[in-house]
Chain A
Amino acid sequence: MPEIRVTPLGAGQDVGRSCILVSIAGKNVMLDCGMHMGFNDDRRFPDFSYITQNGRLTDFLDCVIISHFHLDHCGALPYFSEMVGYDGPIYMTHPTQAICPILLEDYRKIAVDKKGEANFFTSQMIKDCMKKVVAVHLHQTVQVDDELEIKAYYAGHVLGAAMFQIKVGSESVVYTGDYNMTPDRHLGAAWIDKCRPNLLITESTYATTIRDSKRCRERDFLKKVHETVERGGKVLIPVFALGRAQELCILLETFWERMNLKVPIYFSTGLTEKANHYYKLFIPWTNQKIRKTFVQRNMFEFKHIKAFDRAFADNPGPMVVFATPGMLHAGQSLQIFRKWAGNEKNMVIMPGYCVQGTVGHKILSGQRKLEMEGRQVLEVKMQVEYMSFSAHADAKGIMQLVGQAEPESVLLVHGEAKKMEFLKQKIEQELRVSCYMPANGETVTLPTSLSIPVGISLGLLKREMAQGLLPEAKKPRLLHGTLIMKDSNFRLVSSEQALKELGLAEHQLRFTCRVHLHDTRKEQETALRVYSHLKSILKDHYVQHLPDGSVTVESILIQATAPSEDPGTKVLLVSWTYQDEELGSFLTSLLKKGLPQAPS
């Protein structure tokens, strides 16, 4: 019995360090290779020793697929390929390939330079790792080897995020990575065709949430910013460099354009500049509006947003500043925050979630007096706003995607166990699809039905199709042909061709049957009576009376003879070939019932 086995090494009933092993028809594929934000020890990377204790991973894995550039999906990649050792192909989309090394380098810098960790991967390792990457286009079918093929679908979420279909023969698995079913200001919505995979592995971050329309949030955000700058206040928006930052930039940029505003917007530089450069290049991955207008103007060529300089923070008058990092725990955003916090005209907008212990978390929970290093106390008079812009599908979106793909079963990863439980129940109830939610290290085995493809010759297919009068696509239909098994493939051909190919002569198989009739008349007359009888019954068959006294119905021959011993009975000889078995047996049973009495 063929089966698909799935083992999450990370992201099983958990968020972070996504890493899922899939074995499908003898092929092993690793989906994503991420790190965990919450840990600083060995637990931050997936446990690759699960795959093999000693020996190269290359022997056990056919390929690795990275869905997008977030570190919890690609952070462990250099460690995995260079330090543990993997030389096989790594597949990702072009934008991911471009942006991924920037983030990895940034991650390495923080870990090594700031925290002083030893035994971490080096810049060279990142470079070497990226050399093993094979970039794929959307909807491009890539043959990993003769049997294994993969195909990428658009997923929204961040630039270059993709869902992957993994297919071996007739079995297939779809892995969604992170995706977004509602479009935002710079990306479109995830889309997949009705590919009917055996298994759909989907994220379930918002398994228990149904979200409000995005428009209200956007409007609120814009209104708050607009009001503040009109009052002459300064707005600080702490962001992480990639993803949401671009969305907010576009949002503000278009608003500024529409409303003809002149207030300056700044973006603190750093890796953003490089990333923006890539955003400009990958226009086909963005949403409809940007794609349609980029010929006139590339939306990522910001007209109103300029690079930030440290000195600008003291400039008088209103301004909007995007600064990294997003949780106000260090760096430029914290510096600016300290300068502006004392003025109640100013405002800080937190666009995302803040980890406990950071300044961002403190001010969000309403703390107005902050203790800074050096025993200073910072009084926060500026307004603090929270605006959530997240790009994961909500429960409805997940259901919608499952509905679109029509899988045989669903497997949930990348979410909390409790929330998954709810979604699992809903999926089984409403979609009537089996659903799994394995924990890390737990293996799900999924039996699949084996289907064997059989080739059919076009001539035979057409001939058989022409016989059926009405189209009934879903109903099984009887078909005559010969199945040839040769060189481990199956072909269905017409019997004539099979004979020809096999070099066999055709044998005729004929059945003959005698039917005794009580009839005193002459043979000729009996034959005539049989003829007229059959003619009256079989209206849509070709019945003929031959000059030698025999009757034919299509190719069935009926002869009447008079046995010498009994003149009162006549013997009807019915003879038909194997192909006409149905008609032949019908005729004999008909004749056995006897002829109707002659009208005379």
Chain B
Amino acid sequence: MAAHLKKRVYEEFTKVVQQQQEEIATKKLRLTKPSKSAALHIDLCKATSPADALQYLLQFARKPVEAESVEGVVRILLEHYYKENDPSVRLKIASLLGLLSKTTGFSPDCIMDDAINILQNEKSHQVLAQLLDTLLAIGTKLPENQAIQMRLVDVACKHLTDTSHGVRNKCLQLLGNLGSLEKSVTKDAEGLATRDVQKIIGDYFSDQDPRVRTAAIKAMLQLHERGLKLHQTIYNQACKLLSDDYEQVRSAAVQLIWVVSQLYPESIVPIPSSNEEIRLVDDAFGKICHMVSDGSWVVRVQAAKLLGSMEQVSSHFLEQTLDKKLMSDLRRKRTAHERAKELYSSGEFSSGRKWGDDAPKEEVDTGAVNLIESGACGAFVHGLEDEMYEVRIAAVEALCMLAQSSPSFAEKCLDFLVDMFNDEIEEVRLQSIHTMRKISNNITLREDQLDTVLAVLEDSSRDIREALHELLCCTNVSTKEGIHLALVELLKNLTKYPTDRDSIWKCLKFLGSRHPTLVLPLVPELLSTHPFFDTAEPDMDDPAYIAVLVLIFNAAKTCPTMPALFSDHTFRHYAYLRDSLSHLVPALRLPGRKLVSSAVSPSIISQEDPSQQFLQQSLERVYSLQHLDPQGAQELLEFTIRDLQRLGELQSELAGVADFSATYLRCQLLLIKALQEKLWNVAAPLYLKQSDLASAAAKQIMEETYKMEFMYSGVENKQVVIIHHMRLQAKALQLIVTARTTRGLDPLFGMCEKFLQEVDFFQRYFITDLPHLQDSFVDKLLDLMPRLMTSKPAEVVKILQTMLRQSAFLHLPLPEQIHKASATIIEPAGESDNPLRFTSGLVVALDVDATLEHVQDPQNTVKVQVLYPDGQAQMIHPKPADFRNPGPGRHRLITQVYLSHTAWTEPCQVEVRLLLSYNSSARIPKCPWMEGGEVSPQVETSIEGTIPFSKPVKVYIMPKPARR
């Protein structure tokens, strides 16, 4: 009765729940607060020497402090600060103050006065700097409070004249983070001096200490980041800093110039030593280009990176970056690129091998040659040739970005990108191939360029080859010779590296569909058909022949005249390939054949909506479950699950949702079934056997809930609660079953306690979601919590049993986007009849190649499992470098698995599969105060496990006994 009353109260005043929540919080607080600050106080008083005190403070800093007790701790720290003579201890206290004021939920305005106070009496420069840092932490914590910000800025200005660079640094940092421009003018009335922060910071551009200069520039950048508009006058100041002696100053100055150039791209600046004027963005571009040949590579990287984002620069300047104006012996010389282009256009490509064909031609006017130009001449030529690969990568990236915004530039930079394919560092090569792919919409490859590109197909690195295949997928080729060349090189690649098969086929598919007209004249040659003679039928299993067919069939899709050139066996092969490799071979309109698939495809699209509707309806139907009798409920659930599964198979875009909800329903079904068991009605000891079903159900529900939680991406907190709730029910079921089947109370005690603990955890983690769980199992359980705590196990079990039966079925809200993680093992294929032989006791390496979809953080979660016939299982963690990320949501695992076993007499099959490992504590929010501090208590309850998520592949292996 009491429970009933209470429930009514809840219904009417939902806030009551919140009160309960506060109670819990205060309870915790009472425990910790006095101990924290008091202990610190005692410790600090005990400390006899500064070293001791420092030790205590260090120890103290390792543990987190709750928001409520921060103030007390701060007071004690300040008290000690006043007494302390040793600067190192004061320094530590100051840094602790800063850390503490960052605690969430603590408002640091109360300690600001004290901090400013102690700042005024401080003599040590280091402590001063640290105090200013603390003030910065306080200031950033209170961004709305104008008065405080003004005050802090004031303090900073006062200390700017300090002799120590550290203090000036911090002051500038403070100004950069808190200073404002416009507001200081309006707030004049408050009596604080109006300060133009920008002017003050600008003055420190010429400080004598390079560290302070850097800090000043950084502060300026910080102002910009906070949304204040910098004055254009800064541009000239920053330009002067470009010739600073110190690299960090130059590096920061380059950034500042870039920022100003983005703010005022169109304003006009004069060119010194002439009376011409140019746009500011062009001028800045020239200056940054000049920094690409700076003495320090840090600056070069910075400059090269920033060039990429200066898209407003005029094309005239942009194209200069690729032009170095060669000369030899004062005569103008053409670059190798220009010569190649000319040879190509004159039609005698690769024939003109003469000594001196690069001999310089016309004379150069000595007066007109400008060796150090202010302009952008050859900046990228230098950047791409740089000594450090960091600079080269940055330059390639910049080229990519600029080329994406300017087609004409893309055309021009092509030669340089192609050259980068031969870089000595693989990363650079890869980057330039990717860049080329990104800009491939804007370009068409010349034959000689294609030649160089294709030469890289022989690279021994798989990443490079696959990147190149991707590039070829989206390249435009200009001539039929080009296509032929590409095909020949790809086939060469195929024979050299047979593992590239799939990638090459895919590449040819796109190559064919992009260039149907260029493929057409090649068809007779490629299929080796002859007008008069029948030629031998090629081998259908030859990957090279399939590759040719893929190219031709894809071209034929948009070229209706092509099938006329096919011979009989080609049609037969088409039919075979269309079935076996349907993702590579499109449906063709062939004579005497009906097009089936193309007719279907439009109707699917229109059906999309109804299927979504169907999903919704069937789910809604389930939620009326409660009102049905158990039998009916079971049937309904079974039907719905079947429907959902079928729907998931039909509609790939709804598969995630359908599977997810089907799994949930299956859990419910299992639960209902288990509760329907007869064993509940009979005396416990008699039905030992039948309880198997119930405990198996409980186990299965647990497994399914883990799958739901960790195998789907896009699961939100709402769903996690429900999943955990289901799991809690399963645990209750387990408890009841155990209570029924075991004799003796001792094990039961432990289990009960554990269960109650888990309820407690559940309550704590999902406290905000509890209001949504009305009428549910947990809801009822929490009502009876005080009673349960004091009850004996037998009683607890009884209560749980009734509650499980009475509890309502919870509605599972569907998440917006949900995808099931899946994996397909491409290699090993598992078809081979030849066993992999190796000497027992030694290892054999098995190449594993798999694609993963919708796996979050695969580096940590995906494992490979090997199951030997004797039941022995082995788990292998692939290296993080084995995972590649070819696209969003997709991952590729290419790794080697080492197998070993003692000798067998017959070859046997081992199973290889991929597992998804999980850790149940991963989803629970952690305490944010101290990272890397002590292990949080949640870890004890975390459960680690694995879920298989790929089809197992069988590999035939044969460990032979070692010959002696």
Binding site for B on A (CB under 8 A): 182-183, 185, 188-189, 191-194, 208-220, 222-223, 226, 254, 257-260, 287-289, 364-366, 383-386, 395-396, 399-400, 403-404, 419, 422, 425-426, 430-431, 462, 465-466, 469-474
Most buried by A among B420, B423, B424: B424
Enumerate chain B residues within 8 angstroms of A257, measured Cβ to Cβ: 460
Residue in A189, A209, A212, A254 whose CB lies within 8 Å of B387: A189
In the complex, the answer to whether B419 meets A215 with C-beta atoms within 8 Å is: yes
In the complex, the answer to whether A399 meets B386 with C-beta atoms within 8 Å is: no
Q: Which residue of A lies closest to B244 (CB)?
A: A194
* A36 CB → nearest B CB, Å: 22
Residue in B163, B336, B460 whose CB lies within 8 Å of A259: B460
Enumerate chain A residues within 8 angstroms of B371, measured Cβ to Cβ: 210, 395-396, 399, 426, 430
Residue in B163, B337, B384, B423 whose CB lies within 8 Å of A462: B163
In the complex, the answer to whether B384 meets A212 with C-beta atoms within 8 Å is: no
Question: Given contacts A212-B324, A260-B496, A364-B355, could you give 15 more A-B pairs where the C-beta distance is less than 8 Å?
Answer: A182-B385, A183-B385, A208-B329, A208-B330, A210-B327, A211-B326, A213-B416, A258-B461, A289-B389, A365-B355, A419-B330, A422-B330, A430-B372, A466-B161, A471-B212
A183–B134 alpha-carbon span in the complex (Å): 47
Instruction: Sample 25 A-B pairs with CB under 8 A, ordered by A number.
Output: A183-B385, A185-B424, A194-B245, A208-B328, A208-B330, A215-B384, A215-B419, A216-B336, A216-B419, A219-B422, A254-B424, A259-B458, A259-B460, A287-B387, A288-B388, A395-B371, A404-B295, A422-B366, A430-B371, A465-B163, A471-B203, A471-B206, A471-B212, A472-B206, A474-B206
Contact of A471 with B208 at beta-carbon distance under 8 Å, contacts A183-B387, A217-B336, A399-B372 already known: yes
Q: In this assembly, does B606 line the interface, its C-beta being within 8 Å of a C-beta of chain A? A: no
* B495 CB → nearest A CB, Å: 12
In the complex, the answer to whether B329 meets A470 with C-beta atoms within 8 Å is: no
B interface SS class: loop
Enumerate chain A residues within 8 angstroms of B423, measured Cβ to Cβ: 215
A70–B372 alpha-carbon span in the complex (Å): 30
A257–B336 alpha-carbon span in the complex (Å): 26
Q: Which 5 A-B pairs have the closest CB atoms?
A: A216-B336, A183-B387, A215-B419, A473-B208, A471-B207
Q: In this assembly, does B459 line the interface, its C-beta being within 8 Å of a C-beta of chain A? A: yes
Enumerate chain A residues within 8 angstroms of B336, measured Cβ to Cβ: 212-213, 216-217, 220
Enumerate chain B residues within 8 angstroms of A193, measured Cβ to Cβ: 295
Q: Which residue of B lies closest to A388 (CB)?
A: B358
A385–B358 alpha-carbon span in the complex (Å): 12
Residue in B329, B381, B425 whose CB lies within 8 Å of A213: B381
In the complex, the answer to whether B387 meets A188 with C-beta atoms within 8 Å is: yes
Q: In this assembly, does B455 line the interface, its C-beta being within 8 Å of a C-beta of chain A? A: yes
* A225 CB → nearest B CB, Å: 12
* B745 CB → nearest A CB, Å: 64
Number of residue pairs A-B, CB distance < 8 angstroms: 129
Enumerate chain B residues within 8 angstroms of A211, measured Cβ to Cβ: 326
* B290 CB → nearest A CB, Å: 9
In the complex, the answer to whether B455 meets A223 with C-beta atoms within 8 Å is: yes
Contact of A288 with B389 at beta-carbon distance under 8 Å, contacts A215-B422, A258-B459, A473-B208 already known: yes
Q: In this assembly, does B452 line the interface, its C-beta being within 8 Å of a C-beta of chain A? A: yes
Q: In this assembly, does B204 line the interface, its C-beta being within 8 Å of a C-beta of chain A? A: yes
A576–B668 alpha-carbon span in the complex (Å): 101
* A346 CB → nearest B CB, Å: 14
Which residues 193-250 of B sit at the A interface, judged by CB distance below 8 A?
Answer: 203-204, 206-208, 212, 245
A473–B356 alpha-carbon span in the complex (Å): 56
Enumerate chain B residues within 8 angstroms of A288, measured Cβ to Cβ: 387-389
A210–B378 alpha-carbon span in the complex (Å): 11
* B448 CB → nearest A CB, Å: 10
Residue in A208, A226, A395, A474 whose CB lies within 8 Å of B455: A226
In the complex, the answer to whether A210 meets B325 with C-beta atoms within 8 Å is: yes
A421–B392 alpha-carbon span in the complex (Å): 34
Enumerate chain A residues within 8 angstroms of B386, measured Cβ to Cβ: 183
A404–B295 alpha-carbon span in the complex (Å): 7
* B243 CB → nearest A CB, Å: 9
A258–B496 alpha-carbon span in the complex (Å): 13
In the complex, the answer to whether A419 meets B329 with C-beta atoms within 8 Å is: yes
Most buried by B among A183, A212, A426, A474: A212
Enumerate chain B residues within 8 angstroms of A226, measured Cβ to Cβ: 455
Q: In this assembly, does B140 line the interface, its C-beta being within 8 Å of a C-beta of chain A? A: no
Contact of A403 with B422 at beta-carbon distance under 8 Å, contacts A188-B387, A471-B203 already known: no
A286–B378 alpha-carbon span in the complex (Å): 26
Q: In this assembly, does B335 line the interface, its C-beta being within 8 Å of a C-beta of chain A? A: yes
Contact of A210 with B422 at beta-carbon distance under 8 Å, contacts A217-B336, A257-B460 already known: no
Q: Which residue of A lies closest to B377 (CB)?
A: A396
Enumerate chain A residues within 8 angstroms of B354, measured Cβ to Cβ: 366
Residue-wise, chain B 387-398 has the 8 Å CB interface mask toward A (1 for contact) of 111000000000
Enumerate chain B residues within 8 angstroms of A222, measured Cβ to Cβ: 422
Residue in B208, B355, B460 whose CB lies within 8 Å of A384: B355
Residue in A287, A466, A473 whose CB lies within 8 Å of B207: A473
Residue in B337, B369, B416 whose CB lies within 8 Å of A426: B369
Q: In this assembly, does B840 line the interface, its C-beta being within 8 Å of a C-beta of chain A? A: no
* B452 CB → nearest A CB, Å: 7
Q: In this assembly, does B572 line the interface, its C-beta being within 8 Å of a C-beta of chain A? A: no
A462–B384 alpha-carbon span in the complex (Å): 47
Q: In this assembly, does B49 line the interface, its C-beta being within 8 Å of a C-beta of chain A? A: no
Enumerate chain B residues within 8 angstroms of A215, measured Cβ to Cβ: 384-385, 419-420, 422-423
* B665 CB → nearest A CB, Å: 55
A2–B416 alpha-carbon span in the complex (Å): 51
In the complex, the answer to whether A210 meets B161 with C-beta atoms within 8 Å is: no
Q: In this assembly, does B370 line the interface, its C-beta being within 8 Å of a C-beta of chain A? A: yes
Enumerate chain A residues within 8 angstroms of B369, measured Cβ to Cβ: 426
A182–B386 alpha-carbon span in the complex (Å): 7
In the complex, the answer to whether A212 meets B326 with C-beta atoms within 8 Å is: yes
A431–B372 alpha-carbon span in the complex (Å): 8
Enumerate chain B residues within 8 angstroms of A214, measured Cβ to Cβ: 385
Q: Which residue of A lies closest to B203 (CB)?
A: A470
Residue in A219, A385, A471 whose CB lies within 8 Å of B353: A385
Residue-wise, chain B 417-436 has the 8 Å CB interface mask toward A (1 for contact) of 00110111100000000000
Enumerate chain B residues within 8 angstroms of A419, measured Cβ to Cβ: 329-330
In the complex, the answer to whether B206 meets A366 with C-beta atoms within 8 Å is: no
Q: In this assembly, does B645 line the interface, its C-beta being within 8 Å of a C-beta of chain A? A: no
A215–B324 alpha-carbon span in the complex (Å): 14
Residue in B330, B333, B355 whose CB lies within 8 Å of A366: B355
* B337 CB → nearest A CB, Å: 7
Q: In this assembly, does B293 line the interface, its C-beta being within 8 Å of a C-beta of chain A? A: yes
Contact of A213 with B419 at beta-carbon distance under 8 Å, contacts A259-B458, A288-B387 already known: yes
Residue in B327, B353, B385 whose CB lies within 8 Å of A208: B327
In the complex, the answer to whether A210 meets B163 with C-beta atoms within 8 Å is: no
A465–B164 alpha-carbon span in the complex (Å): 11
Enumerate chain A residues within 8 angstroms of B212, measured Cβ to Cβ: 471
In the complex, the answer to whether A209 meets B460 with C-beta atoms within 8 Å is: no
In the complex, the answer to whether B425 meets A289 with C-beta atoms within 8 Å is: yes
* B633 CB → nearest A CB, Å: 65
Q: Which residue of B lies closest to A366 (CB)?
A: B355
Q: Which residue of B lies closest to A215 (CB)?
A: B419
Which residues 888-944 of B sit at the A interface, judged by CB distance below 8 A?
Answer: none
Which residues 157-210 of B sit at the A interface, judged by CB distance below 8 A?
Answer: 161, 163, 203-204, 206-208
Enumerate chain A residues within 8 angstroms of B389, measured Cβ to Cβ: 288-289
Q: Which residue of B lies closest to A217 (CB)?
A: B336
In the complex, the answer to whether B295 meets A219 with C-beta atoms within 8 Å is: no
In the complex, the answer to whether B381 meets A471 with C-beta atoms within 8 Å is: no
* A210 CB → nearest B CB, Å: 5
Enumerate chain B residues within 8 angstroms of A471, measured Cβ to Cβ: 203-204, 206-208, 212
Q: Which residue of B lies closest to A426 (CB)?
A: B371
Enumerate chain B residues within 8 angstroms of A182, measured Cβ to Cβ: 385
Q: Which residue of B lies closest to A395 (CB)?
A: B371
Enumerate chain A residues within 8 angstroms of B337, measured Cβ to Cβ: 216
Residue in A192, A209, A212, A474 whose CB lies within 8 Å of B329: A209
Enumerate chain A residues within 8 angstroms of B420, measured Cβ to Cβ: 215
Enumerate chain B residues within 8 angstroms of A364, measured Cβ to Cβ: 355
